Amino acid sequence: MTDLLETPGPRFVDLLTGELDDGADREAEPEEAPRRAPRSPQKRDAKDKGRRRRRAGAIHGYIGPNGSGKSLCMVLDTTPTLNGQTWKCKEPSHLHTKAGIYSGTRRVLSTLPILDPATGLPHPLYDPLHEWTQVLNAEHCDLLFDEVTGIAGAREAMGMPVAVQNILQQLRRRDVLMRWSAPSWKRADTIIRDCTQLVTVASGHMSDWSAMRVDSPPAWAPKRLFKWRTFDCKDFDEWTTAKASQEGKKGAHKPLRPKVVTWYWGPDSEAFASYDTRGAVSRVGEVLDGGRCAHCGGRRAVPKCECDSH
């Protein structure tokens, strides 16, 4: 009995033979299985069913106050194109067929700078949008108008050229998807609102106060959790009109039920790294269609047309 107490290590007695077993020949007990590693941002974004349903709208509007994640949602819905989508077309009226090009990779024409999440540099499939002629020649691409009020606001009746207005109503013929963002629904140009098929209302939650504990903190605390509610454009337009007509009257209007509701965690996501939330948004064109400067409002001389396509 004393030997049993003094011998190090576990000792067992075989009930059949009565012999001691020090466990040397026993199989090691299996270790606890490691926990499953968290999904990478790319896999997490790829399984976003809400994104697939939002991409069903060829012309999509994203509205919400600053910091609500409307631009984030717009970039997230564009990531399939940024990951590389090919196209094939032999339509004789398209410009690429005149150049002998019948296939290629979709590109993103955007006023919002799009970055490569791996390098932080401008994405190779991103083209900055600065001129209306780029919209007139756009084919087989995604068109992003971030902060559309600076491009074609509701109060800027002569801001968008008439030729561009006609193109926006024929994007299907050119295989162009359009996404735009604005602080509110009625701040966008009427032409854009009439063409829009889906509208997503964004709201931001859970401010990241740790970003404020630096020597030069930002003026706006960034949000981390976002809620996106997507509605059919016709239902949403009728609902907002009815809501406005009932202001100051008794009786509340019935809430509109969204088609898609998505909660999205922004930090460490692929979409978060695909754009700079504090980056400047480019303005399309320097001269408005009414002949006024887009910066100071002064009049500019309209240049003489030198096009050969007459």
Contact 176, 140 (CB under 8 A): yes
pLDDT over 50 at 64, yes or no:
yes
DSSP 8-state class, residue 116: -
- Of the ranges 109-113, 233-237, 268-272, the best mean pLDDT one: 109-113
In words, the CATH class of domain 51-207+222-245+253-274 is: alpha beta
At residue 208, what are phi and psi to the nearest 5 degrees?
Answer: -90, 90
Name, in order, each residue with C-beta under 8 angstroms of 110's C-beta and a sequence gap of 6 or more. Answer: 126, 127, 128, 129, 142, 143, 144, 146
Q: What does the DSSP assignment read for 138-161?
A: --SEEEEESSTHHHHBTT-TTSS-
- Please report, for the chain, the start and end positions of each structural domain, with discontinuous segments joined by +: 51-207+222-245+253-274
Buried b (16+ CB within 10 A) or exposed e, 201-210: bbbbeeeeee
Mean pLDDT in residue range 155-175: 73
255-286 residue pLDDT tens? 788 999 999 998 888 888 999 877 777 777 65
For 205, the 3-state DSSP assignment is strand
Express as a percent the part of the chain with pLDDT over 90: 36
* Of 103-112, 154-163, 278-287, the least confident: 154-163
Sheet holding 198-207, edge to edge: 126-128, 107-110, 141-145, 176-182, 59-63, 198-207, 223-232, 260-265
198-230 residue pLDDT tens? 999 999 999 887 767 777 777 777 888 999 999
- Looking at residue 28, its pLDDT comes to 47
Mean pLDDT in residue range 45-62: 82
144-158 residue pLDDT tens? 999 886 665 444 544
Instruction: Give dist(CA 85, CA 15) in Å, integer.
Output: 69
User: Which residue has tokens 């509205």?
Assistant: 63
How far does Cα 54 stand from its chain's mean position? 10
Which of 156, 196, 165, 163 lies closest to 179 in space, CA to CA? 196
